Structures are given as C-alpha cells and as structure tokens.
Amino acid sequence: MLNRGLLLFGLLLTGSPAVAEDPVVAVDTLKGESLRGVLSSLTDAQLVLQTEQGPQEILVSELLAVRPDAAAAARSADGEVRLADGTRLAAANYTSGATSARFEHPRYGELTVPLDRVTSARLLAAEGNSVAIWTQLLERPLKKDLLAIKKAEVVDHLDGVVGSVDDKTVRFVLDGEEVPVKRERVFGLIYFRRDGAPRPTIAATIDTIDGDRLSAGKVTWADGRWRVELPGGIPLEAETGVFRTLDFSLGKVLYLSEVDPRNVEHVSWWDEPWVNFTYRRNRNFDGKPLRLAGKTWPRGLAIHSLTTLTYRLGGDYRRFVALAGIDDEIRAHGNVLLTISGDDKTLYEGEIGVENPRRPAIPLDLDVTGVVELKIKVDFGKNNDIGDRLHLVDARVTK
C-alpha cells in the first residue's frame, strides 16, 4: 500500500514535489495495469502519476478509470436536475424561461444551462413511496411533457406542455389551456425530447461524493482543482476529495453482457420444454446475481454446457478479459471444457471446475487484435456433468 508521507518525502528528495492538495488515486489502464500514486496533473492528452517507482505518464486514450481517495464532506439538496447527456446534479430553487434554466447547486453555486438540455427537474425531496413512482415516471416513454404533482404520500401526473417556472408558479398547458400551478404542489417536471439530437462527446463519466453524476466533455486536474466542462460549455470546479470515480471507459470497453451475440447455439440435454438453459446476462440460471469465487458480480454471462456464443468484434478490439469459473452454488460437481477462439483460431482451451479445486476462478486475458468474430464454446468436461453452469464474470473486450 502506498504511504503518502514517504512518497511525498521521496519525491521532494528527487526534485519532483507533488502539490500538497494533489490527491492519491488508483488508476486502471487498458493494458490491464492497476497503479496507485499521487496525481500531479491531468490534461486532455495525458495523466501524470507520481508513484514509488517514479513518475508515470499515461495517455488519456489508455485510461479506463481514476479513483481518488475521497475525503470531502458531502453536500446535498432536495431537488435534482437531469440533462440529456446523462448528467445528474443536486438542485435547489429551479427556475426556467424560454431558452434557459437556472438552479443552485450546494457545491458549485448557481448554474445556468440551456433549457433544451434539461430532461427532468425534481423540485421536492424524493422520499417514501415517491422514490419508486418518480423512477417509474422517468422511465416512461413520453409524447408530451409531464407534470408530477405531490398529493400526500402519492405522486400523480398530467401530460401537457411545461412553460416557464418561477419561485411561485409553474405554467402548464393542459388540453390547449394554460394552467398556472402553485410551485409548492409540483413534485417534478419531465420534458419530452425528440430523438435525433447529435450526441455530445463524453471524455469521462464522474461520480461524486454528493451523489451527482457528471458527463464530462472535458476534465482536468491542475493547481489543486478539478475543472470539468459539461457538454454545452457548462463549467464546474471542485476541490480534491469531491470525485469518487472518473470513468474513461466509454467507447473503449464493450461488456459482452451488454450486447447480443451474432449467433447462439445450444443443445438441450432435457426434453421438457420448461427447462431453459439458454445463456443468461448478469444473472445465474436461477435468476439470482452471479456468484463466483465467493463474490457477487454485477456483470457477466452464465453459460450452460453445450452452448456456443459468437460475437462480432469487427477487428476493433485488442484484449478479451474475464474471470471464468463454475457457479458457486454447484461448484462441487460442475465441470466444463471452455474454448475461446478468434476467427476460428483457438485462443484458450481448458477444463474449468472440479479438476481445479484450488482455482475456483480462472483469469483470462487474451489477445484479440484484429479478430472479427469471437466464439465462446462451453462443452462437457471430463466428468460429463449435466449440471454445468459456467460463469464468465466481467467479460469484456477493450480497444
């Protein structure tokens, strides 16, 4: 584990001092490296990390994630504003006019954003039954704007057109007639936005200690400050300790559980139609979270023996990475032969299961440079078990 005091002392001796406010961070790269050190700088082009082995310069194009040691106190507000790029911000005193919206953030102060970038504005605190109701409303397909009204413990809604919002009134057009609604009754607003708007370039997705999520078009670290620019040119600044995770993986990583295989082949061992061992995404065959090597995994594939999955990579990726093993619930008797090939060339083949009792999970890291089609074949192992359930957790390809 990195000792910050010793590291800073060593850096001072070598003439490369780190600023006192510079955060200690963990860094993951596309090459599979996991580094830890003091963040000296982050620009559009590269990250400079001071480690016990000396300074490390990492191209932003090679970054997967940066995880600072967060230490600042969290700040919150009752409301929340969501933007079309995926940004979520705590918000108070939301108002809007014809072209822009304004609100106060507990950390960044007053913010002004183009109204056409706002997808929703929750004006009251989400608590009790209102949390689930509001979540359902956010997921509804819309044909008009939506006005959510708080009635005791229930949130009701109306479809229409949201007009201007001030500190007393929300103007709402219902069936062609404008209705002024007292702001104190309004739980939230959801704006209808047509598809087809150009997607902004996102450099990183940032999760903060305040519960915000920032889709950053640009993010830098210098002079003891994070500087973020949201799509649309909205600037934010934050001190060290505010950001929990900076995810640079967008467009660089593809999780196999998030896409459809080009082809699925499965031979059922059972004649009963109710037995379905077609592969599963992010769940085991009992509908439970994936369990492997004593841990729960949010992403991955559950694959029964006599199954072959083919994925089209198009030659765009360099590495296939996953952890392979038998579902913890049946590991005592599960055993499979796993074969992974790229364009019909075998990249990995091995028995997984009871033949390796001391290795409940096998790490895979395969070169798939130039591979157009990736094929994952799960067959019976030596024991010809019929209860085989292979888990490929965190299965992904990276550029």
> Which one, of 286, 285, 319, lies nearest residue 390 by Cα?
285
Query: Which two tokens mark 215?
Result: 């889709």
Per-residue pLDDT of the chain (399 residues), as tens digits, is 445 444 443 443 344 444 447 999 999 998 778 899 999 999 999 999 999 999 999 999 889 999 999 788 999 999 999 999 999 999 999 999 999 999 999 999 999 999 999 999 999 998 888 898 999 999 999 999 999 998 877 899 999 999 999 999 999 999 999 999 999 999 999 999 877 667 788 999 999 999 999 999 999 999 999 999 999 889 999 999 999 999 998 888 899 999 999 999 988 766 544 446 789 999 998 888 999 888 899 999 999 888 999 999 999 999 999 999 988 877 656 788 999 999 999 999 998 876 555 567 899 999 999 999 999 999 988 766 666 789 999 999 998
> Which one, of 204, 206, 202, 203, lies nearest residue 242 by Cα?
206
For residue 303, count CB atoms less than 10 angstroms from its CB and return exposed for 0-12, middle for 13-18, buried for 19 or more.
buried
Cα(127)–Cα(115) distance, integer angstroms: 26
* Ramachandran category for residue 184: left, alpha or beta (phi over 0 → left; psi -120 to 50 → alpha): alpha
Q: What is the pLDDT of residue 385?
A: 61
Please answer whether residues 170 and 156 qualify as being in contact, where contact means their C-beta atoms are separated by less than 8 angstroms. Answer: no
Phi first, then psi, for residue 118 (nearest 5°) are -85, 125
Please give the C-alpha separations between residue 308 and each of 10, 262, 341, 356, in angstroms, as whole numbers: 53, 11, 11, 23
Q: What is the pLDDT of residue 125?
A: 93
Q: pLDDT by residue (tens digit) across 33-43?
A: 889 999 999 99
> Which one, of 204, 223, 224, lies nearest residue 214 by Cα?
204
* Amino acid letter, 292: L
Q: What is the pLDDT of residue 251?
A: 83
